[in-house]
């Protein structure tokens, strides 16, 4: 299979990024080093190429009903210019993918999905759309290959980006968006979203405007010390916030209730999404395992698939994500544990190279967001 490139690939290569295949694309993993890039975003601002993400437009009189059916959150709670985190239930109690839902107006929605799942998500959406009478290519449209996206993240991000538009973006509320002229481009989608917990924005534009966007963003951010950031730091940043990563913390075998995503699974009147009866019962009955964050109490770095055990050495769960937190200078992770061990403060042990290292169940986020 041919590895795709984004409109920004040549910039990453010219800047000396370590490039690797990721989700079918050649993507920058790191430039100056993961820890340095992580701290750059926490303290100042950094720019990520996230053009590999998928974008589906849903339009027409059946748009609302469709999005309400295939996602667990309550789309009726959205208003024009509001973004919502949600997930696609898979009809068997698991998760097809997690996604962002953008409401442009009552009959226009943008679904932003994970890069690795674009084909899978599109197939799932098409199947359900056909059943509901939507016209593929008109009411449901896959624009993934037409859209470039930069995420400018960090406490100085909005201040820097304000230089590129007359529209007020520094005062935008979290998880909202505007269609605005930006950086000499007639229209971009400018959203106060991101995957780092350090504030900032995500900017969507047509592929043909991508180079102009890159140069403008780097120029506007120069006085604030902007730097390009790779996917390695994106992962450590999201993990410090306790944000789920598909394929690690959630998948087709994990339910949103087990994954502590009850807050995006809304059992309200009129929200008859796929799997609602099953998930409602699971919530009421309490799941036998749940996703929890934990902090290492002994020196060691937890990694995906490491066993979680109790004091007697019995396996009680599995690590789904783990790293050394650059902010805490300590090992942190997430994993599924038996419900009996899920209470905050519970002592657990992580099996690291045949040693059972002490850890403790803790609340997420692991750090206070900026």
**DSSP state letters, 269-289:** TT---TTHHHHHHHHHH--SE
Closest to 101 (Cα-Cα) out of 85, 123, 117, 125: 85
Closest to 203 (Cα-Cα) out of 187, 222, 224: 187
Rounded Cα–Cα distance for residues 294 and 8 (Å): 36
**DSSP state letters, 299-340:** S----TT-EEE-TT--EEEEEEEEEEETTTTEEEEEEEEEGG
pLDDT of residue 2: 81
pLDDT band at 69 (very low <50, low <70, confident <90, very high): very high
Rounded Cα–Cα distance for residues 139 and 88 (Å): 18
Q: How open is the CA angle 321-122-88, to the nearest 5 degrees?
A: 50
Peptide bond into 253 cis (omega under 30): no
The 10s digit of each residue's pLDDT in 263-312 is 999 999 999 999 999 999 999 999 999 999 999 999 999 999 999 999 99
The 10s digit of each residue's pLDDT in 224-265 is 999 999 999 999 999 999 999 999 999 999 999 999 999 999
pLDDT band at 1 (very low <50, low <70, confident <90, very high): low
Domains of the chain (ranges; CATH) run 9-51+146-239 (3.30.1360.120), 288-370 (2.40.30.110)
The 10s digit of each residue's pLDDT in 72-130 is 999 999 999 999 999 999 999 999 999 999 999 999 999 999 999 999 999 999 999 99
């Amino acid at each position: 299979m041919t590895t795709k490139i984004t409109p920004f690939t040549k910039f990453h290569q010219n800047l000396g990024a370590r490039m690797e295949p990721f989700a079918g694309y050649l993507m920058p993993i790191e430039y100056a080093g993961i820890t340095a890039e992580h701290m750059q975003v926490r303290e100042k601002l950094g720019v990520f190429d996230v053009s590999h993400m998928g974008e589906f437009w849903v339009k027409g009189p059946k748009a609302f009903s469709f999005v309400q059916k295939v996602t667990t959150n309550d789309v009726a709670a959205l208003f024009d210019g509001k973004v919502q985190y949600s997930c696609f239930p898979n009809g068997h109690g698991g998760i097809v993918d997690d996604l962002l839902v953008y409401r442009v107006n009552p009959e226009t929605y943008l679904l932003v999905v994970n890069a690795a799942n674009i084909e899978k998500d599109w197939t799932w959406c098409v199947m359900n759309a056909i059943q509901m009478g939507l016209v593929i290519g008109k009411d449901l449209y896959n624009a993934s290959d037409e859209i470039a996206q930069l995420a400018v993240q960090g406490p100085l991000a909005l201040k820097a980006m304000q230089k590129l538009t007359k529209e007020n973006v520094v005062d935008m509320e979290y998880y909202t968006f505007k269609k605005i002229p930006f950086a000499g481009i007639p229209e971009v989608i400018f959203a106060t979203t991101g995957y780092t917990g350090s504030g900032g924005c995500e900017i969507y534009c047509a592929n043909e405007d991508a180079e102009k966007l890159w140069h403008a963003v780097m120029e506007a951010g120069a006085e604030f010390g902007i730097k390009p950031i790779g996917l390695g730091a994106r992962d450590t940043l999201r993990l410090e916030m306790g944000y789920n990563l598909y394929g690690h913390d959630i998948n087709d075998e994990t339910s949103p209730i087990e994954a502590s995503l009850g807050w995006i699974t809304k059992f309200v009147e009129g929200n008859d999404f796929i799997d609602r009866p099953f998930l409602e019962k699971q919530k009421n009955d309490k799941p036998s395992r749940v996703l929890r964050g934990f902090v290492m109490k002994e020196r060691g770095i937890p990694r995906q698939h490491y066993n979680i055990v109790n004091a007697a050495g019995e396996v009680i769960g599995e690590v789904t994500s783990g790293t050394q937190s650059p902010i805490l200078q300590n090992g942190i992770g997430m994993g599924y544990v038996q419900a009996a061990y899920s209470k905050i403060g519970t002592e657990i042990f992580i099996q690291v190279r045949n040693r059972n290292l002490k850890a403790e169940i803790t609340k997420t986020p692991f750090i206070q967001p900026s």
